[in-house]
Amino acid sequence: MGEGVEWAVHCCLTLGWLGDDQPVSTARLAAGYELPPAYLNKQLQALVRAGILTSTAGARGGFRLGRPLDKITLLDVVTAIEGPDEAFQCTEIRQRGSGAESPARSFVAPCAVSTAMRKAELAYRRALAAQTLAEVKVAAERHVPRLEDSVRRWYGRG
């Protein structure tokens, strides 16, 4: 999994702490985590395409949350960055070679291996979808007191 996911989640949380009053530019977000600005911008563009963020161009432009954090799940972010298709891709190798002798039943019977892998991946996606960014934000604040104030202060009170 690419590291863009980590960047995206942290940036969304930061946007949540700073509030939607005014957009935050890529440069400031990148400076906050010491990330390459241009590449971070690429990831944020993916979030915009997914509707998680909204972007405003021009001077004093930047990124804003597209909807409140409790309406954004971890699955939304992962899907936006990593793409919609799941990790395990069944290439139907069972139909090649020895399985080729019976082409008739090839398309009706599901691949047992694929089914088993999909079951696990579904559990993964369910666990991701069950967690909203609002919950993650609360957990972070619970671990570190005064976190929101600290962030707002660092970014120049948002």
Partner DNA sequence: GCCACGCTACTCGGATACTAAGTGTCCGAGTAGACCGGG
Partner DNA sequence: CCCGGTCTACTCGGACACTTAGTATCCGAGTAGCGTGGC
Which runs of E-coded beta strand occur in 13-72? 53-56, 62-65
Q: Name residues contacting DNA, limited to 24-63 (CB under 7 A).
A: 25-27, 36, 38-39, 41-42, 44-45, 48, 55-63
What is the DSSP-derived secondary structure letter of residue 24?
Answer: B
Quick count: other Cβ atoms within 10 Å of Cβ 116?
A: 11
Do 132 and 72 form a contact (C-beta atoms < 8 A)?
yes
| Packed helices 4-18 and 26-33: angle between N→C axes, nearest 10 degrees | 110
Binding interface with its own copies (CB under 8 A): 1, 3, 5-7, 9-10, 13, 31-35, 74, 87-91, 93-94, 96-98, 101-102, 105, 109-113, 115-117, 119-124, 126-128, 131, 135-137, 139-140, 143-144, 150-151, 154-155
List contacts with DNA (CB under 7 A): 2-4, 23, 25-27, 36, 38-39, 41-42, 44-45, 48, 55-63, 82-83
